[in-house]
Chains A and B, each alone.
Chain A
């Protein structure tokens, strides 16, 4: 499929670049529907690569790039299941989302996350699979999972460890605080910070520049400098599943979903 319009995302090839646009209200929360469409995208990627040298992942939602996993869906589905079924359900979801993330991470083209606004949890994990992150100055990054008694489950910790120093990984993970784009650039998470609303334009310009380089060389360079941490990713799934069935997680999810606090996104 050279182009696709789904319920949660769409894609098209534009001047040698695949543009994967997330578009699900309110802020591209990743639930089962998004997962199915992401799987469609990774299945189509091989054919799309024939006409493209780069991939840009972006959001059409003004609120931000992606607020992470769909916790409301997770809570509702978990409530309807027993402990064993709940664990099996979440493992199945994680196995599938990891296959998507791993395919994007290792894709033989240069990948760019063009982010703005909220880039939290699973949204940050999606950005982390990309080779480059270009952020507008209003972007914010956060791993709030510990608030729920969990760790990031879409491959966040192994990829953050791959890219950044352990001290900043601990800071982000253990405090759950959000950081702005300039800070994210200063720690090496973000490559370029651009003006408010300018991330997609900058990503397109960057993708156009990359198109001037020999593609085989670019892919060889990417494979050399960006190994996919498969073993740690497997371990992450196991730890997440071990933690998920604890009562503290159900309590945390319920509290989040039912929260009337002004700042439910804050850890």
Chain B
């Protein structure tokens, strides 16, 4: 099973690739809304891609109040 660091790194790679942001510019503590410049609909798009990538279901209410990559990774990690 992935470590939290691996999960975080995979999230950062996926976000960088999909939203065309250089991977090296993204950090685990970043606010992904601000860093990626995404709105609520794009956030749902990111959620769908993460669910597909990790083969999980992540109820969106678990993401309420979550805005940084590390906490997002923790939520995903708990479903792996």
Q: Which residues of A contact B (CB under 8 A)?
A: 26-27, 63-64, 117-118, 137-138, 140, 142, 175-183, 262-267
User: Are B57 and A266 in contact (CB-based, < 8 A)?
Assistant: no
User: Are B41 and A180 in contact (CB-based, < 8 A)?
Assistant: no
User: Are B43 and A263 in contact (CB-based, < 8 A)?
Assistant: yes
Task: Name B39-62 residues within 8 Å CB distance of A.
Answer: 39-41, 43-45, 47-49, 51-52, 57, 59-61
Complex partner residue of A138 from B33, B48, B64, CB under 8 angstroms = B48
A249 and B44 CA atoms in complex are apart in Å by: 25
User: Are A118 and B67 in contact (CB-based, < 8 A)?
Assistant: no
Are A27 and B41 CB-contacts (below 8 A) given A137-B52, A180-B52, A262-B33?
Answer: yes
Closest approach, in angstroms, between the C-beta of A140 and any C-beta of chain B? 6
Main secondary structure of the interface of A (DSSP, over half): loop
The 8 A CB mask of B7-23 against A (1 = contact, 0 = none) is: 00000000000000000
A11 and B45 CA atoms in complex are apart in Å by: 28
Are A118 and B44 CB-contacts (below 8 A) given A137-B52, A180-B51, A262-B67?
Answer: yes
Q: Which residues of B contact A (CB under 8 A)?
A: 33, 39-41, 43-45, 47-49, 51-52, 57, 59-61, 63-64, 67
User: Are B41 and A117 in contact (CB-based, < 8 A)?
Assistant: yes
A26 and B41 CA atoms in complex are apart in Å by: 10
A264 and B63 CA atoms in complex are apart in Å by: 12
**Which residue of chain A lies nearest to B34 when distances are taken between CB atoms in the complex?**
A262
Are A266 and B40 CB-contacts (below 8 A) given A175-B59, A177-B59, A177-B61?
Answer: yes
Complex partner residue of B40 from A142, A262, A267, CB under 8 angstroms = A262
A178 and B62 CA atoms in complex are apart in Å by: 11
A266 and B63 CA atoms in complex are apart in Å by: 9
Nearest 10 A-B pairs (CB), nearest first? A177-B59, A266-B60, A262-B33, A265-B40, A180-B48, A63-B41, A263-B40, A178-B60, A180-B51, A138-B48
Are A265 and B41 CB-contacts (below 8 A) given A137-B52, A180-B52, A182-B52?
Answer: yes
Closest approach, in angstroms, between the C-beta of A116 and any C-beta of chain B? 10
User: Are B44 and A178 in contact (CB-based, < 8 A)?
Assistant: yes
**Which residue of chain A lies nearest to B66 when distances are taken between CB atoms in the complex?**
A263
Residues of A near B51 (CB, < 8 A) are 180
Are A263 and B52 CB-contacts (below 8 A) given A117-B41, A118-B44?
Answer: no
**Which residue of chain A lies nearest to B49 when distances are taken between CB atoms in the complex?**
A138
A138 and B49 CA atoms in complex are apart in Å by: 8
Are A117 and B45 CB-contacts (below 8 A) given A137-B52, A263-B40?
Answer: yes
